Every structure is written in structure tokens, then in C-alpha cells.
Structure 1
Amino acid sequence: MKQALYIDCCVRGAASRTRRLADAFFAALGKDWQVTRLDLTQEELRPLCGAYFEERESLLREGRTDHPRFDRAHRLAEAELVVVAAPFWDMSFPALLKLYIENVSVEGITFRSTAEGLKGLCRAERCVFLTSRGGAYPDGDPMEQAVPYLRAIQRFFGIGGLDVIAADGLDLDGADVNAITAAACERAAALARAL
């Protein structure tokens, strides 16, 4: 069985438009994939500061990367496919996703320092980013920072490539929300079938 990690940052739960894209993607993903869902709204994610940060640094100095604190990082590093579902918020995505990334950025697990620079250690050949956005953001629009950030993180972790499926323009006047969402769901399903 191939291993897929589903990082669910759909903070609106069942009412999430992004969740619809994720549901379409996973309904079409082949049966040879075992999916582990990580619901970020249910995780106890904390920013790296104060005693929490010091504990992490102490564990890393001692080489204790097998500590349960690093389980999320190991799960990410071992996945063969990473799927991130997060809506567009404040020009990128909800802070929960940034907290997750901060917590899984662990030297010796998801990346390492070498004489030539940083090297990603994650196994995944692809990361899929599923999102819904109220506005319309063409590639390269400086008002959309989620994709450039995730593209940089994908490279940092050594993940092979980033595919983006976005339901754009959902909150624009006159938008046919159902048609836009259905089209994005079909693109998500087509991508899943191709994996």
C-alpha cells in the first residue's frame, strides 16, 4: 500500500468549500493508497516559543528525534503523497497550517543541513494543494501568497512537485458557486485518478 498524508486545514468543517474539493479528490484516489488524515483543528498545535521551544531544542541536541513530539514530522517524511486542503485566508491560508509546518520542520527528519546547503528528506514525489478562494487570483498575483509559500516549503522538504487545484472567484458578484465548485472538484478528481 502506498501512503498518503491528508493535512486537513478546513476550519469550517463540513461547511467548508475546500473540504468539497478534498472529498472529490479522495473519492477518486486509487484503492492502492492508504490515507492518513490529520485534522489540524483537532491537533494541539503550538507556536515554537518559550519553554515549548526550549524543550524541542533540548530533544534535538540530545538526538532524540524518536520522541513523540516529532511524530507529525515523521509522518510527513514517510508519506509518498501529501495532500493539503486549506482555504484562502488573509492572502494565504489559516494560521493552523503555518503552525503545523513550523512544528514539522525538524532537522534530521524533514530536512538536514549539508556542506552544500539544506536538503529535503521527505519521500513524497508530489504535494497536492486544494483550496477555495472568494476572489480570482491568476498565477503570480502578489495578493495570493499561499502557493508561493507552499512551493518553497515543498522544495525545502524535498517533495518532488506541487499541484494546485483552486476553486476561484466564489464570492464575486454573480458567481455561479455550484458550477465553479463542481469544475474544481472534477479537476481534483482527475488529478487523483492520474496518481
Structure 2
Amino acid sequence: MADAFFAALPDAYEVTRLDLMQEGLGPLVGEYFWERERLIQSGELSHDRFRYARQLARADLVVFAAPFWDLGFPALLKIYIEQVSVDGITFGCDARGLHGLCRAEHCVFLTTRGGCYKAQPELEQGSRYLDALHTFFGFGDYTCVAADGLDSEGVDASAVLEKACRQAQELAMSL
């Protein structure tokens, strides 16, 4: 689905893909967390530790592509989100409260799900989380394209995925 989306994206967009499995990201724990906090407190936001946050803040379009996983998305995507959630880069906090600092006009989530969650939407937390995150970071709008029911009995998974790929292409062409 991501390949279909990017193939249809207008040439005006310069695409930078991050394969989170190759980025060596780790959770914010122990000294790694405290080093990050010290850098933020001292205003050293140009430090290499914040390169992903700066990249996200400068993006014109943000696309997350991840499968449904344990009611949400894989933990590595959450680790990435923790890495890019940096006060002063992707969001700000002042007397007005929290506000996003990212410039992307669109945030897109492309996902595949084994089941269908229309009858129990509270069980689908991946898209809901990213929808909230788009507001937090200040992205213009949010769209989720999902291929649902891929593991469900009696579902033509190929047809469902093909339909979702067409929807992803149509979305990309509309941007």
C-alpha cells in the first residue's frame, strides 16, 4: 500500500523514507533519557539526537505505514514518536498551552489489519493515536487508509488490499 501511495504522489514531493528497523532507535530509558532531557533543558536542539524531530518538523507531508499490531501499531513506531516528540521542535508549550510546531499540511496513516473494528472501534488504537498526534504536532489534516479484515474468514484479502491500494493512490494524487 505504501508503494502504491508513493508511486502516485506528485513529483513536487521529495520523498525521504525511514525504515525504522534500520535506524537503531531505542526506548527513552536510563541515561539515554536523562541525556536527552539535559540537551532539551540547555536548549541544544541542534544536537544530532534531535535529527528525526527536526526532519519531521520540516516535512511538508508525513506518511506512517505500519501494520495493525496489538490494538495499535508496532512498538518501534511508538519509539520513533517518542524520539520526535521534542518541546521546541515538534511542539511547544507556553501560556496558551500545547501547540504544534510542524509544518506538514497532511498526515497519512497506511495500515493493514487482520480483523474488522467497525463494530468495536475502541479496539483500534493505532489510527486514533496518530489522529491525536497530528493535532499535537500541528499537522494540517489526517487521513487513514486501512485494508481491514485481511485475516478474516471468507474475505478476499487480495481484493481488500487492492481496494486499499487504489484508495492510497487516489489520496496521493489529491495532495
Query: How big is each residue's C-alpha offset from its partner over 1:103-152, in whole Å with a ceiling of 9 and x where there is no partner?
Result: 10000000111101001000001100000000012287111011111111
Query: Equivalent residue for 2:105?
Result: 125
> SS of the residue aligned with 1:180?
helix
Report the Cα offset of residue 92 of structure 1: 0.3
RMSD (CA atoms): 1.0
- TM-score, scaled to structure 2: 0.98
Letter in 1 for 2:147: A
Structure 1 unaligned regions, length at least 5: 1-20
Report the Cα offset of residue 47 of structure 1: 1.1
Letter in 1 for 2:89: I
How many correspondences in the alignment?
175
- In percent, how many aligned pairs have the same letter? 58
Query: Equivalent residue for 1:182?
Result: 162
Query: Equivalent residue for 2:78?
Result: 98
Q: 1:54 to 1:149 in 2, by over 3 A?
A: same
- TM-score, scaled to structure 1: 0.88
Runs of 4+ in structure 1 deviating by more than 4 angstroms, as ranges, are: none
Task: Confirm or deny that 1:161 pairs with 2:153.
Answer: no
> SS of the residue aligned with 2:146?
strand
> SS of the residue aligned with 1:113?
strand
> SS of the residue aligned with 2:86?
coil
The residue correspondences of 1:64-103 to structure 2 (distance < 5 A) are 64-103=44-83
> SS of the residue aligned with 2:14?
strand
Per residue, is there more strand in 1 or in 2?
A: 1
Distance 2:26 2:16 in 1: 21
Letter in 1 for 2:104: A
Distance 1:150 1:106 in 2: 16
